[in-house]
Homo-oligomer: A and B are copies of this chain.
């Protein structure tokens, strides 16, 4: 039920000194790791609770319903496709996590990201054509009262997306892995194109995506996946090169990327060495 972690054959006769050092390091890591995990978990849980408590106080029911349904829909798609196709990432931030933890090969990551951009762009084109009035799609926007400055709202969105992306990428690290049979395959091409697959139920991924997209949707019009914001901007830019949609587009990318880096750093370097040291 747990991911089958691929073990590299370690060198069989280590010198006594290095072996003792490794044991000592391993021992201190097995104490520090759970404490670090506890710290991160409690901090994020209470931060999200306090943050939502403040935000929900000023939201209307209609807006709340809409954000909830869109977030659940996004999470359902993530979970259903991960369960059906096993290898999908669905966000450049997730691909970054798989690249840095080494679970998916670099060549594959370089191919997956353009595929994501292309699919996102075509989805916006399809939507515009399906809609009755063939108007331009609205650009991604922040939801902010006029009482608070724009930079403050952007800052809130980045923090929210960072936490959401951290949750999604942590779920990916703990649920995805390289299948044992794939690893034994000794073809040159296949070793170059290693890709991690979902080995566990997708329930934690569903829950993490739901909360991440909800956090993003109560601050803005886009979910916790920069592809949506990019596709809308790209469509508007292609339609009219004078369109200013890409101005301040970076605020939709900082949060997901920093969250992904944090998930790699914490899950790879700080967590229990028993489960993670062999993955390097």
A interface residues (Cβ-Cβ under 8 A, vs B): 1, 23, 27, 30-31, 34-35, 37-54, 56-57, 61-62, 64-66, 68-70, 73-74, 76-81, 83-90, 108, 111-112, 115-116, 118-120, 122-124, 126-127, 130-132, 137, 147-149, 152, 155-156, 159, 167, 170-171, 173-175, 181-182, 187, 189-190, 193, 195, 201-204, 206-208, 210-211, 214, 221, 223, 227-228, 231, 267, 271-272, 274-275
Contacts and interface: CB of A to CB of B under 8 A. Distances in A.
A27 to B, nearest CB: 4
A103 to B, nearest CB: 13
A67 to B, nearest CB: 10
Contacts of A167: 77, 80
A66 B56 contact: yes
Contacts of A123: 42-47, 50
A118 B35 CA distance: 11
Given A52-B73, A112-B35, A204 B46 contact: no
Most chain B CB within a 10 A radius of its CB, from A88, A207, A214, A272: A207
Contact of A207 (B38, B69, B76): B76
A24 B73 CA distance: 39
A217 to B, nearest CB: 10
A127 to B, nearest CB: 4
Nearest to A175: B83
B27 A84 contact: no
B119 A42 contact: yes
Shortest 3 CB-CB distances between A and B: which pairs?
A: A42-B119, A83-B204, A46-B123
Given A119-B39, A127-B51, A211-B80, A34 B204 contact: no
A85 B37 contact: yes
Contacts of A69: 52, 56, 64, 68
A69 B175 CA distance: 26
Contacts of A174: 83-86
